[in-house]
Chains A and B, each alone.
Chain A
Amino acid sequence: MNPTAHRAPRLAFWLLSSLGVAAADIDESKLPAPESRPIDFQRDIKPILQENCLRCHGPERPKSNFRLTERTLALKGGNNGLDIVPGDSAKSPLIDYVARLVPEMEMPPESKGAPLSTNQVAVLRAWIDQGVVWNDGSNQLATASVIEVTPLVMGTMVQGDKAKFRELEWRPDGWDGGVERFSLSQQGADGRAVTVEGHLSRDDYHLTLDLKKPELGFARLGFEQYRKYYDDGGGYYGGFTPPFYRLGEDLHLDIGRVWVELGLTLPQWPRLVIGYEHQYKDGAKSMLTWGPVASPTGDFLDARSIYPAFEQINESADIFRLGVTFDTHGYQLEDTLRAEIHSLNTRRTDALYVSAGGAAPDLLTVVQEAHHSLQIDNTARVQKQLYDWWLAGVGYRYSWLDADSSLHLNPQDAAGQPAAGSAWSANKLLLNEIWQVANATSQFQPLRQFTATIGIQGQWKRQETFGDANMDEVVDPADPTSGIFRYPATEQSALNQTTAEENIVLRYTGLPFTVLFAEARLKQEDYSRTADQDGGPHAFQLASDAAATWQDYLVGFSSSPWARVSFGGHYRHRDRHTQYDYSLAQHDGAYPGFIQARGIVADEIEARATFRPANWVTATLTYRWNDSDYRTTTGATSADLAGADATPGGQVLAGRYRTHGVSANATFTPIRRVSLSATLSYLNSDTTTADNGSASVAPYRGDLWSVFASVNWTIDDSTDLFAGYTFSQARYGQNNTQDGLPLGTDFDRHGIQMGLRHAFNRTVTGRLQYAYFSYNEPTSGHLVDFTAHQVLASVNLHW
């Protein structure tokens, strides 16, 4: 066997061994005499290896690359050479180690287990002297093969808004079936393993294949896809008829990826991983770019934007990755080279005008965007334990991105014909970005109870964009000569950004059963930006410099002074401030170049306590308080833009965000066969802004409750019952119906699940399950409510 700890003594031993010193120093007379009886591997040896050796010298990551899982590998030895000499136990280093005759090489090490008895050493000697017979049938100490398949069928009957059900519950309605889970795994004693896992159901697929051979490499392949569903409704306004619109579209996105990863894990060689991944999104999703609907009075100034919008998406990313990690001389080196080709095409349809009571938009705009990019980046890291008290690491990342984009706005009438409106377009906008990041971190532990970690990071980013655009305004699409005002324009912008970050993390554990910690995360950022659009109705020029400082402090403790109580808490203070300086700002309004300073100051307190009054019950209680202030300083607006004295400028407490959150959890196991768990979470939040004096802008405040409860009852060795309940309730409704559009939500959501699981034998286990879902949203006029019943049956086959 081989050592597991104390590198310096081990190194010394290697040196001594290589010089033939160690063997000469061993006094063989101190070895117990070998047993004289015939040794049976199964009866005599296997228990010794399993109880004393395999935890370190098993199939996975064996110490010193020495495996005791099969005869061939045992005789092969490890990093220190041969450990077993068949027929000669006295010359087998393994016996010297287990007999504890070699200082710093005692096996098992003191921290890993008790020494072998004299009799056990004698048995091992006899086994070696008798030829290391390994008659466990397969010639291997351990193999495992597991096959598991769980076919499933279920039906979900929904009453009410089926699309809302699909969106909120992340599952289809109607009949569904497939394989809930399948897996096949086989592992040999030498660590070779094959694993196939996956599931297959409607709109949801997952398959992975893992192949592994220790000291050679691995291959991982996979495919997965799931569907994200969207409701096709827009906003709700009770003052209109109809108050709510639907697109009549089955909105969903299929999100998936295919990947392959090959790794080389040769001993003493760098670990090499080559990977390719194809990610994609395909389908359509709902958008919040809702269109305005005129009021029944016909006054468009009193419109409400509630008509839904959606976007078709076709997106893919091809990612190539090459990673190298290497541990040598105490250095941990890592380098990852990554290339990503991204392609995105979107087509969004927004309503621009819906007449009062109209069933469909009278005017809409189609926004088509395309974006293609190539990004290459390389990240290198080095980490080393320089001294027992100093762990250091440095890293560097270089990223280069080259992209082009296009955009087309096409106003259309209800028949899909060109209409009046903004018809902006840009056929090719070029974007380039270079981003470099370098950091250095050190973890110091001058005392056993004290750790100080200091990290610094610098970032530099440069971004440039350039392209031509047409900012055309269409008055009469039928008259391309005089009905379209053409505004050719050039767009360009540039950004130069420099960021420095400093992290300090202090941790003290000198008090009994207590951790004290304090952290500071600081950031300073300077950036200059220029932007220029030299034509069109919104032509402008801007040149600005900004300086931002972020400060984030945290101090707290965790303690468990009594065996059945633990508690802790922290206080956190954050302060972010940005100062803007505009050397050039010529445009059609106050923005951009209007905000001169912004500041966010936030305080947070969190407390936590856990109690275990008895072994069968544990309770946890947490509380969090947060208070954030947002301050904005602007310039003054000139009278010719907004009328006299629109704003004199200056600082304002623009907004305030406060929360109180309490969560409690209790886990009970009153009797061995019954376990219960319940969690309650409550959040109160309040957002106010300086403009809440306007009747259109109601404060956003309310309460949010969540409850989860579950119970498992194991009736006997083959049958158990389970049930669960989830509930959430929000009360964020607003009362600005008369002058605005209330967007706060009230809802009640329930979920009940109960079932029975029964093992018919060791191979077959059946499950029957019923679930009930309910969603009730009065702030949408109950038009998105649903109730659903789901019945599920599955059979698990396990070999």
Chain B
Amino acid sequence: MGTTRIQHARILMIAGTALAGGLLISCSSLERTLVVAPQIPDATFTGNRSCADCHVNYTRGFASTPHARVQIPAAKPVGETGCESCHGPGSRHIAAGGGRGKFIVNPGKDPSACFQCHLETRAQFHLPQRHPVMEGKMNCVQCHDPHGLEILKPAGGMSMARADEPCAQCHRDQTRPRVYAHEAMREGCTACHQPHGSINAKMLIQPDLNLCLRCHAQVQGAGVPNGQFVIGAINHSTLVTRGACWTSGCHTAIHGSDINHHLLY
């Protein structure tokens, strides 16, 4: 990162902190408005402590989770900044003696609660190439653990996640061990793919040569004519007119090959 960008970031942080400090002078014990909690007919907010009576496995480690960043401990009521922010008001659920999905919102089945905050993610799930969450064939918790120390599965609870495992549970062919692995796989699937949705086929971040050249560009020698470029020891100037590295009929084994170290097949 350049010096200018560091300064830019610092200025924004200072300004944000100053704004926060100013606003904090005026505090209130009224209802917080962090998110629009899901609605449950005739139900009212009860607060986090009621949830902890039964769901202690989720609540006792919750302070360590990424979602705790937005769990503001308001004096009263705490409904809209705690468990009920995502699960809806819990009074009827409690009155019914609990039960899976009984008068309670399960974001695992319906992503609406997640989209109250994750607006950008919601937009991605509406792009032409996407995982079918909006179509109801997948859900957020298949890949994410909203109550875990790490947001990615399969960690669970206080455990730590392992990169790419959420992807590998369905995309075994792309993540399986190969004789010659593509080094980019070490960066994780998200090095090249946008897992929520993309405008590009196969949910790629970029559909063209830029995706590969982000890592494979090199200093061009004095012997390379203007407008041409070499990758490795091969002049690719003509080859890249055909398209991207993996669409041009060359590096088709882009996730790794069992037979060719140039990932040609």
Contacts and interface: CB of A to CB of B under 8 A. Distances in A.
Contacts of A664: 119
Contact of A645 (B132, B223, B242): B223
A786 to B, nearest CB: 12
A655 B215 contact: yes
Q: Which 5 A-B pairs have the closest CB atoms?
A: A58-B97, A655-B214, A563-B30, A590-B232, A645-B221
B229 A691 contact: yes
Nearest to A687: B210
Contacts of B126: 706, 708, 726, 728
Interface string A429-460: 10101000101010101000001010101010
A681 B179 contact: no
Given A292-B249, A381-B157, A732-B199, 11 more contacts: A424-B259, A507-B63, A515-B71, A562-B26, A622-B119, A627-B5, A632-B215, A642-B235, A651-B219, A652-B218, A655-B214
A740 interface: yes
A601 B1 contact: yes
A688 B210 CA distance: 7
Nearest to A775: B128
B123 A463 contact: no
Interface in A307-352: 313, 315, 317, 332, 342, 344, 346, 350-352
Interface residues of B, number: 127
Contact of A453 (B12, B28, B64): B64
Contacts of B156: 381
A696 B237 contact: yes
Interface of B: 1, 5, 9, 12-13, 16-17, 20, 23-28, 30-36, 49-50, 53-54, 57, 60-61, 63-64, 68-74, 81, 94-100, 102, 116-117, 119-120, 122-123, 126-128, 132, 135, 137, 149-150, 156-160, 162, 172-173, 176-181, 183, 186-187, 199-202, 205-211, 213-224, 226-230, 232-235, 237-238, 240-244, 246-249, 252, 258-262, 265
A513 B216 contact: no
B176 A371 contact: yes
B39 to A, nearest CB: 10
Contacts of B260: 424, 538
A694 B30 CA distance: 60
Interface in A562-613: 562-571, 573, 576, 578, 587, 589-592, 594-595, 598, 600-601, 603, 605, 607-608, 610-612
Interface string A385-424: 1000001110100000101010101000000000000101
Contacts of A291: 249
Nearest to B36: A618
Nearest to A491: B179
B219 A315 contact: no
Contacts of A598: 215
A134 interface: no
11 contacts: A54-B96, A491-B259, A531-B180, A560-B74, A561-B24, A561-B28, A563-B30, A571-B9, A590-B233, A694-B240, A699-B210
A741 B243 contact: yes
B53 A290 contact: no
B120 A622 contact: yes
B92 to A, nearest CB: 10
Contacts of B227: 693-695
Contacts of B98: 58, 60-61
Contacts, number: 475
A645 B210 CA distance: 24
Given A513-B72, A601-B1, A745-B207, A687 B128 contact: no
Contacts of A560: 32-34, 72, 74, 81
Interface stretch (A244-252, A296-304, A473-481): A296-304
Interface string A369-385: 10101000000010101
Nearest to A745: B199
A78 interface: no
Contacts of A683: 120, 123
A650 interface: yes
Nearest to B213: A689
A647 B230 contact: yes
Nearest to A730: B199
Contact of B70 (A304, A424, A568, A589): A568
A792 B100 CA distance: 31
A184 interface: no
B222 A645 contact: yes
A607 B16 contact: yes
A650 B72 CA distance: 49
A641 interface: yes
B53 A56 contact: yes
A684 to B, nearest CB: 13
Interface string A711-739: 00000000000000010101010100001
A683 B6 CA distance: 22
Contacts of B233: 589-591, 637-638, 641-642, 646
Interface in A753-789: 775
Contacts of A732: 199
A559 B218 contact: no
A749 interface: yes
Contacts of B229: 691, 693-694, 697
B232 A667 contact: no
Contact of A60 (B71, B97, B123): B97
Contacts of B178: 431, 465
B5 A655 contact: no
A654 interface: yes
A332 B57 contact: yes
